[in-house]
Structure 1
Amino acid sequence: MSRNPFFERSVLPYELPVFAEIADGDYLPAFERGMAEQLAEVAGITAGEGEATFANTVEALELSGQLLGRVSRVFFNVASSDSTERTEAIEAEVSPRLAAHEDSILLDGELFRRVEGLYERRGELGLDAEQMRLLERYRLRFVRAGARLDAGQQARLRELNAELASAATLFKKNNLANTNAAALILDQEEQVAGLADAAVVAAAENAAALGHAGAWALSLQNVSNQPVLAELTDRAVRERMMAASLGRGFAEDGANAELAVRMAALRAERAALLGYSDHAAYVVEDQTAKTVNAVEEMLAQLVPPAVANAEREAGELAAAMRAVGDQGELRSWDWQFWSERVRAEQFSVDTEALRPYFELERVLWDGVFFAAGEVYGVTFQERTDLRGYHPEVRVFEVFDADGSGLGLFLGDFFARPSKRGGAWMNSLVGQSTLLGTRPVVVNNLNIVKPPEGEPALLTWDNVRTLFHEFGHALHGLFSNVRYPFFSGTAVPRDFVEFPSQVNEMWMARPEVLANYAKHVDTGESMPAELVDRMLEAGQFGEGFRTVEYLAATLLDWAWHRLPAGAAAGVDAEAFEAEALSKGGVALAAIPPRYRTAYFSHIFAGGYAAGYYSYIWSEVLDADTVTWFEDDSAPIRDKGESFRRELLSRGGSVDPLAAFESFRGRPPIIEPLLTRRGLTA
């Protein structure tokens, strides 16, 4: 026990966790000791003699739970990035215990009385702006957690929180298993026609690894429309691929569909207990949106023009099918395939032909890192002497413009069966001047790993994801706050995507694109006319992408607008169909980006009633991009302003107030409407 690597702060640079010494058996003892230590620290706060002060109550809370924080940050990243049967078992055991632990603190009556007392006399305490905001946020956190409920209500709340924590863990575990099990096994090489040679080899290797030597296996990503649908020429294979994708969690056992219904019911009951009409109302009150009406008004502006665009696109694709003698109906498994062919015809752009210009190493170093240097003055050095949690994880030290060490960035880029789908950023060490810590952040992506010895060639969407997730990483790396509560990306859910979406702009910036878009074999730059066609083609299909996203958003919203008791006996598939119809996005050829049974964002992540956040944040993003592009000041000056006013502040200031201060006015939606082609 004394050698448990979590029991002491790491001595590695930036307190990078000592992954070489961490074993699965270390997690549970560290969780247990971490919870016990924090409860003892909280007991010390409430048992203190004399009057409550900011230092002996609020700041003491910020200093508590450091061991628990260390093990939690590492474990939950590893549980998503490189799960094992042991970590799955630990997560199933510890998740409800952590929920109960948090309740024991936030429902501590004496602790709440101390915080409430400080809040009531906050004007007399001489607090600075960050301290005042911390006190206000802690008090609100206690209230929203149920501190004002009576004993019976709090007991039921604890039960709800524990069951929801267990259900979310099970949903994630099921989804990973369902996605892996749904891999499409093909026994004839002609069935993979249309795939690039390297992709065919990778599919054969994948099949062998799954126990199907001599076959080809197409593994699924955690989205409805699988990227491979754009390439497969065999329509029957495409149909099978789409069926495998859409059926996850609804098939024989239906476990995740049933689990989602149960979770929606539990969330609705909890919201009612806390005094809200539904879970969405509870969630958005503490976001920048503030009200369900604000979210619904925004969505109402977007749905009709997006659907009109998608229907126009569908007409173009159907015409392309008819032009080659295919009189069949355009179906969901046809959309991406014919979209690529229409795109190629209209813009003379073959998506597969672009891949050689987007080699991972060059995109990373000469694109993502180069752009960060041009905008913010930071530089990067790979630290091969430092180890990540998996052999494929790479560690980079980040230096500020003055040469001082800023933090560490870990890149975990490739898909594997032990990693959940999607892409995300996690913090392994949070920045805090109170704790004396500097940031260590990790980006997880799910790029298909190439055959041994082959370069990893990306799609344009892969490039976008790389830039997007690095925007989250910069948000964490540039954090400059005193208190852990506010560190890095600890901002409202409907604001957190804003910095990452802004970072996407640099992928197509001419000086950045020219620096990394070079042929993997010849080193030649992508021809200017191909660049122009590619960027123009990038706007093609915007109707599809917007409807696909809005369908998932409205599905999330429908589940979480249910009042208490309304989910009883609900059939998930029937509910889905009705929600999409009511939302005006029930287009058979465009399934939601996520269906209920694999919608991990909302049932195994933090986006319940918050998937709208992406487009809400995009309003801020599109507005900010116009500012970056207006040539009113050098890019480095603008980068410093954006970093100082927004990226470095974390949650220490009101995010919309920070935006308005930075922009000189409230955000406007017009740049977003223009970007998405929704102005007509």
Structure 2
Amino acid sequence: MKSLLFAGVSALTLAAMTPAALAQDGAVEETTSGETTAASDEAEAAVETEASEEADYMILLNEWEGPYGGVPPFDQIEVSMFEPALEEGMVRARADIEAITAQEEEPTFENTILALEESAADLGRVGTIYGIWASNLSSPEVQAVQRAMAPKLAGFRDELYQNAELFQRIDAIYNSDAYDELTPEQQRLVWDYQTDFLRAGAGLDEAQKARVGEINQELASLYTEFSNNLLHDEEAYVTWLSEDEIGGLPASVLSNAKSAAESRDNEGGEYAVLNTRSSMDPFLTYSTDRDLRKKVWETYYSRGDNGDEYDNNAIIGDIMKLRAERSKIFGYDNYASWSMEKQVAQKPKAAMDLMMKVWPAAKGKVAEEVAAMQAIADEEGDFIKIAPWDYRYYAEKVRQADYDFDAEEVKQYLQLENLREGMFWMAGELYGLEFSQIDDVPVFQEDVRVWEVTRDGEHVGLWYFDPYARAGKRSGAWMNAYRTQDNIDGFTTPIVSNNSNFVKGSGDEPVLISWDDASTLFHEFGHALHGLNSNVTYPSLAGTAVPRDYVEFPSQVHENWLPTQEVLQQFALSAETGEPIPQELVDKIERAANARQGFDTTEYLASALVDMKLHTMTDFTDFDADTFERTTLEDLGMPEQLPMRHRMPQFSHVFSGEGYAAGYYAYLWADTFSADAWEAFEEAGGPYDKETAAAFRKWILSVGNTISPSDAYEKFRGHQPDTNALMRDRGFPVPDEAAGDVGAEAGPASGEPTE
């Protein structure tokens, strides 16, 4: 139950009517003695229709059938099923909770905590599939369900976490003598439940609980509106190109632009630049038309900020007022203090200290990069001052001039399918996993493919791959867990997915991706490996269910295996000749690794710093999102030549839900772990050192949240992460600072409570 609600179901939408209400209001008509036979026939037909519809949507509630421990019934799903199925799921979940609280027996781990772990399974199955539709197959029909149902799920969550009888049972276990007799994993789980119930308002009075419930329902609606506004702007704006507007674009970019136009039925021309990062970024890198670069840049960075009905600025203000009010009710100074309490960093100051350690070095690197770019622009007689829409274009020129590195030349060796095979090979070398493509399970879209994952001939799980962009699919790349591993009643194998937004090629044409996109591919696969290697007892502690500022660590460290010689020589093969990438080009990749590190780090940190500064505010009277963003960046000394990575009106990490609110710093925090962990492999003799890989699997990938991340990392590494490893990794100057300053976090180290 807890893992279900904290894994993102609270951001989904639920049905407007229960099946019982549906039968009463829609199928059964009151009759009078004067009614005609036709009316009775119509009533009977309506009853039969309702019964049929109920039978249809029940597929979403039932246990998954088929091979591999059961699989999602994607081939049997219709959007119309979600509302009644999700509502019925809530009804059944309520019954599960009532059965727990109605017990006369004293609360024990088995009759309360374990019962909670096994509750709401029906709702979990519905929520999983609905989440897939909302993220990958969004449509006006799906969005209508979201708008209607977001408050209902928020209300259900509050109903659970404000259940006084249920909290009393959890609290009694946490404070009992029997707690000391539990296993460390069980203690961790009890602590996790007790802490989350308190943080959700279990200790509030009735008036406070009621107000928190109102706030949560309002927020749920605002998050949905923010997301749908952003999706609108990503799909509604397209930059169409004519033949005389494609100057500088290499063949692979032109091919993608042509495929993008075809996906829109060529309604505006033969070539199109979609309003997504994967389409915008290469255009800005290569287009010789500065006016068009500016147009594409402004279109992309104005998403959610066009002053129309889809503008997100006012929504941000409403969200922040409600978050601040709720934080005050909970007894915290600000939202960040509440949000970060269970994270590794624990407090906003710790996150700010790390970010401000890196910020000056990142800005200094930007100044060097801009100076080099301006020199090239001047040398070429362009008579311009570097602007944000110029950065990628001239950065590529600098990279070619200083490092003899041509990103397009490298791209010819980066075939998506070959790199996928490279990821599989890496997982086999490190963790003994093998991947075999299967076709005996349904998928939710024809481009999705599935692999069975095994180790030593034993089934481990399934991996779904959804690589291509489509209408209704949210932008970016991500990993999902369709089924979480557990070992309560036999070993339940995980089902995970990786989703991307590459432009699909025409026919058998290989899909070529950039070096940055290849790194992202390995990153997201790292999340999948975290889920696939999980080996714990309870689902709420399994796989990626770790603190937000730790969950990116296993994924980020896996980016490092892409540039290894073993992967590149076997899987970076020329699209034309099939020959492996030349060592000379590999050397150039290595030399140019940090060529644009100033840009990459500064645009990210700007968003993370704005996020943290926003969520440490307490007064949102007369708050204006646009003014806050502008003045905060000015105070930070943001270089004028680049924007923050996610401007506030499009910052879905923060305003489409609460997953990364006051938490975007997590990528940098996690990278302190990943940089230090990679040095462990280097110190051991190389990236494929078997002993180090085994330790990484044992203490990082397999344990989930059963022990504190700090303890787990120290068992793997022998010490807490050295922040200087992060500076070394990014090519920044290393200040004289002691190691091991990012390792403390809330929670019992081995199941013991922390006061």
TM-score category of the 2 structures, normalised to the smaller one: over 0.9
Shifted more, 284-293 versus 210-219: the winner is 210-219
Aligned partner of residue 445 in structure 1, secondary structure: strand
Q: 2:354 aligns with which of 298, 301, 311?
A: 298
Q: Which letter does structure 2 place at the counterpart of 1:643?
A: R
- 1:529-540 paired onto structure 2 within 5 Å: 529-540=584-595
Q: 2:432 aligns with which of 356, 372, 377?
A: 377
Task: Tell me if structure 1 keeps the 8 A contact 2:469–2:504.
Answer: yes
Q: 1:355 aligns with which of 408, 411, 421?
A: 411
Task: Summarize deviations over 1:362-416 as a string: whole Å, max 9, x none.
Answer: 1111x1111111111111000122222111111010011x210100000111111
Confirm whether residue 197 of structure 1 aligns to residue 251 of structure 2.
yes
Partner in structure 2 of residue 541 of structure 1? 596
Instruction: Using the TM superposition, give the Cα deviation of residue 201 of structure 1 relative to its aligned residue in structure 2, in angstroms.
Output: 4.2
Aligned partner of residue 226 in structure 1, secondary structure: helix
Q: Which letter does structure 2 place at the counterpart of 1:430?
A: T
CA RMSD of aligned residues (A): 1.6
Q: 2:661 aligns with which of 601, 604, 608?
A: 608
Aligned partner of residue 361 in structure 1, secondary structure: helix
Task: Tell me if structure 2 keeps the 8 A contact 1:281–1:291.
Answer: yes
- 1:420-569 paired onto structure 2 within 5 Å: 420-434=474-488, 436=490, 437-563=492-618, 566-569=619-622
Aligned partner of residue 507 in structure 2, secondary structure: coil
Task: Tell me if structure 2 keeps the 8 A contact 1:478–1:647.
Answer: yes
Aligned partner of residue 602 in structure 2, secondary structure: helix
Partner in structure 2 of residue 596 of structure 1? 648
Largest Rg, 1 or 2: 2
Partner in structure 2 of residue 665 of structure 1? 719
Partner in structure 1 of residue 50 of structure 2? none
Instruction: Using the TM superposition, give the Cα deviation of residue 196 of structure 1 relative to its aligned residue in structure 2, in angstroms.
Output: 2.4
Aligned partner of residue 512 in structure 1, secondary structure: helix
Q: Which letter does structure 2 place at the counterpart of 1:308?
A: G
- Which consecutive unaligned segments of at least 5 residues does structure 1 have? none
Provide TM-score, normalisation by structure 1.
Answer: 0.96
Q: Which letter does structure 1 place at the counterpart of 2:649?
A: A
Q: 2:183 aligns with which of 128, 148, 161?
A: 128
Task: Tell me if structure 1 keeps the 8 A contact 2:188–2:706.
Answer: yes
Task: Tell me if structure 2 keeps the 8 A contact 1:373–1:379.
Answer: yes
- 1:393-432 paired onto structure 2 within 5 Å: 393-400=448-455, 402-432=456-486
In structure 2, distance between residues paired with 1:234 and 1:553: 32
Partner in structure 2 of residue 28 of structure 1? 83
Task: Tell me if structure 2 keeps the 8 A contact 1:82–1:419.
Answer: yes
Task: Tell me if structure 2 keeps the 8 A contact 1:31–1:72.
Answer: yes
Aligned partner of residue 357 in structure 1, secondary structure: coil
Partner in structure 2 of residue 97 of structure 1? 152
Task: Tell me if structure 2 keeps the 8 A contact 1:15–1:429.
Answer: no
Task: Tell me if structure 2 keeps the 8 A contact 1:223–1:245.
Answer: no
Task: Tell me if structure 2 keeps the 8 A contact 1:394–1:411.
Answer: yes
Task: Tell me if structure 1 keeps the 8 A contact 2:684–2:692.
Answer: no
Partner in structure 2 of residue 168 of structure 1? 223
Task: Tell me if structure 2 keeps the 8 A contact 1:226–1:245.
Answer: no
Instruction: Using the TM superposition, give the Cα deviation of residue 213 of structure 1 relative to its aligned residue in structure 2, in angstroms.
Output: 4.6
Confirm whether residue 674 of structure 1 aligns to residue 728 of structure 2.
yes
Instruction: Using the TM superposition, give the Cα deviation of residue 272 of structure 1 relative to its aligned residue in structure 2, in angstroms.
Output: 0.9
Change (3 A) 1:315 1:435: farther
- 1:72-471 paired onto structure 2 within 5 Å: 72-123=127-178, 126-186=181-241, 188-210=242-264, 212-222=267-277, 226-253=281-308, 255-365=311-421, 367-400=422-455, 402-434=456-488, 436=490, 437-471=492-526
In structure 1, distance between residues paired with 2:599 and 2:280: 11
Percent identity between the two aligned chains: 38
Instruction: Using the TM superposition, give the Cα deviation of residue 222 of structure 1 relative to its aligned residue in structure 2, in angstroms.
Output: 4.8
In structure 1, distance between residues paired with 2:82 and 2:92: 15
Partner in structure 2 of residue 573 of structure 1? 626
Q: Which letter does structure 2 place at the counterpart of 1:276?
A: Y
In structure 2, distance between residues paired with 1:341 and 1:582: 31
Partner in structure 2 of residue 630 of structure 1? 683
Task: Tell me if structure 2 keeps the 8 A contact 1:184–1:219.
Answer: yes
In structure 1, distance between residues paired with 2:184 and 2:155: 32
Instruction: Using the TM superposition, give the Cα deviation of residue 451 of structure 1 relative to its aligned residue in structure 2, in angstroms.
Output: 2.5
- Which consecutive unaligned segments of at least 5 residues does structure 2 have? 1-53, 735-755
Confirm whether residue 59 of structure 1 aligns to residue 114 of structure 2.
yes
Task: Tell me if structure 2 keeps the 8 A contact 1:30–1:67.
Answer: no
In structure 2, distance between residues paired with 1:209 and 1:99: 36
Instruction: Using the TM superposition, give the Cα deviation of residue 223 of structure 1 relative to its aligned residue in structure 2, in angstroms.
Output: 8.4
Change (3 A) 1:397 1:223: closer
Provide TM-score, normalisation by structure 2.
Answer: 0.87
Change (3 A) 1:124 1:206: closer
User: Paired residues, what number?
Assistant: 674
Change (3 A) 1:557 1:452: same
In structure 1, distance between residues paired with 2:486 and 2:179: 26
Q: Which letter does structure 1 place at the counterpart of 2:683?
A: D
Instruction: Using the TM superposition, give the Cα deviation of residue 275 of structure 1 relative to its aligned residue in structure 2, in angstroms.
Output: 0.7
Task: Summarize deviations over 1:136-166 as a string: whole Å, max 9, x none.
Answer: 1100011000111111111010011111111
Change (3 A) 1:328 1:297: same
